[in-house]
């Protein structure tokens, strides 16, 4: 019985050791990561792809580097100024970035605590300040303008620091952008003044339009009255002209005769209207 146990032990020990060595020889790199192979403290330049990878137990180790998109948030205000030197601040900036898998070994070898210090607050702050100084007051608070520009400047700074295409900036989100209170108060006062000016301009224009309308009505009425007067005058002139044309020497003589008859200066006998006495001649 003792001999059997010794034999079993002699068989199991190598098997267990072989299994242990096998486990120590395999490193699994999950999707979204790359591995960095280290041999006696020396880092291989080539990154280890994801999946099952073999290593020499006790001689080599494989460290994982995250190549997924990662967010790093910088809370607090970053003060800057616009192109017109208006003070402005940006609060809570989130940068989404990822490490190029082909650069994983270089990052691991050269950046201490790369997972925390790769994208630093100083670098982001400097890039945002450089961005806002190129923008007007209106543009500097417009996220559609400031965020892409900040992303461009952060990428440029990372390229200068680590080399092109080492760290890729995917997106920049700025939670709040605003001016100091005194500037906001000045803007509010300006807006109120502008609104009052616009209201006054509207009232003035209404008055001008009314005066123009009244003048137009008066002009139209005056023209109408003048036209009526002209028509009346023309009618009177025409009537008098026709009357003048109708007064003939014979008609005048007839009126004179009628006047004499009416005053008894001339008497008429019979139907032939024959003058038989001229009273005025006797006198």
Query: In this structure, are residues 132 and 141 in contact, taking their beta carbons and an 8 Å threshold?
Result: no
Rg (CA), the chain: 56
φ/ψ (deg, to 5) at 280? -65, -30
User: What pLDDT sits at residue 276?
Assistant: 45
pLDDT over 60 at 282, yes or no? no
Query: In this structure, are residues 41 and 16 in contact, taking their beta carbons and an 8 Å threshold?
Result: no
Q: Residue 174 is encoded by which pair of tokens?
A: 């700025």
pLDDT over 60 at 54, yes or no? yes
Query: In this structure, are residues 96 and 67 in contact, taking their beta carbons and an 8 Å threshold?
Result: no
Over residues 237-266, the mean pLDDT reads 69
User: What pLDDT sits at residue 283?
Assistant: 43
Q: 197-230, pLDDT tens digit by residue?
A: 777 788 788 878 887 778 777 777 777 777 767 7
What average pLDDT does the chain have? 80
Measured between its terminal Cα atoms, the distance across the chain in Å is 201
Is 97 or 267 the better-scoring residue by pLDDT? 97
User: What pLDDT sits at residue 48?
Assistant: 86
Is 54 or 162 the better-scoring residue by pLDDT? 162
User: What pLDDT sits at residue 281?
Assistant: 46
Weakest-pLDDT range from 54-68, 216-230, 231-245: 231-245
Query: In this structure, are residues 161 and 123 in contact, taking their beta carbons and an 8 Å threshold?
Result: yes
Q: Return d(Cα 167, Cα 174) in angstroms, integer.
A: 20
CATH 3.30.479.30 fits 70-179, yes or no: yes
The percentage of residues in the chain with a pLDDT greater than 90, rounded to a whole number, is 38
Confidence of residue 75 (pLDDT cuts 50, 70, 90): very high
User: What pLDDT sits at residue 50?
Assistant: 81
Confidence of residue 59 (pLDDT cuts 50, 70, 90): confident
Reported pTM: 0.60
Is 11 or 86 the better-scoring residue by pLDDT? 86
pLDDT over 70 at 102, yes or no? yes
The percentage of residues in the chain with a pLDDT greater than 70, rounded to a whole number, is 71
3-state secondary structure of 192: helix
Confidence of residue 186 (pLDDT cuts 50, 70, 90): low
User: What pLDDT sits at residue 223?
Assistant: 73
User: What pLDDT sits at residue 20?
Assistant: 56
Over residues 49-65, the mean pLDDT reads 81
Integer CA distances (angstroms), 166 to 70, 124, 142, in order: 14, 16, 29
């Amino acid at each position: 019985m003792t001999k059997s146990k010794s034999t079993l032990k002699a068989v199991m020990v190598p098997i267990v050791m072989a299994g242990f060595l096998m486990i120590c020889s395999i490193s699994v790199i999950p999707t979204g990561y790359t591995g960095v192979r280290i041999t006696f403290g020396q880092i291989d330049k080539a990154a280890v792809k994801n999946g099952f990878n073999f290593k020499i137990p006790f001689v080599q180790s494989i460290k994982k580097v995250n190549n997924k998109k990662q967010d790093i948030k910088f809370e607090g205000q970053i003060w800057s100024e616009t192109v017109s030197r208006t003070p402005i601040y940006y609060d809570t900036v989130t940068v989404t970035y990822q490490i190029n898998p082909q650069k994983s070994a270089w990052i691991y070898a050269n950046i201490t605590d790369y997972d925390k210090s790769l994208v630093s607050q100083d670098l982001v702050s400097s890039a945002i300040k450089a961005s806002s100084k190129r923008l007007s007051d209106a543009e500097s608070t417009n996220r559609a303008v400031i965020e892409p520009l900040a992303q461009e400047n952060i990428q440029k700074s990372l390229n200068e620091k680590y080399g092109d295409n080492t760290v890729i900036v995917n997106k920049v989100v700025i939670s709040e952008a605003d001016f100091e209170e005194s500037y906001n108060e000045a803007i509010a006062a300006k807006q109120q003044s502008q609104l009052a000016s616009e209201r006054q301009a509207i009232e003035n224009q209404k008055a001008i339009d009314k005066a123009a309308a009244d003048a137009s009505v008066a002009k139209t009425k005056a023209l109408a009255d003048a036209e009526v007067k002209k028509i009346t005058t023309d009618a009177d002139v025409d009537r008098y002209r026709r009357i003048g044309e109708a007064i003939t020497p014979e008609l005048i003589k007839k009126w004179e005769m009628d006047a004499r008859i009416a005053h008894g200066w001339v008497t008429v006998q019979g139907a032939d209207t024959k003058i038989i006495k001229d009273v005025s001649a006797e006198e």
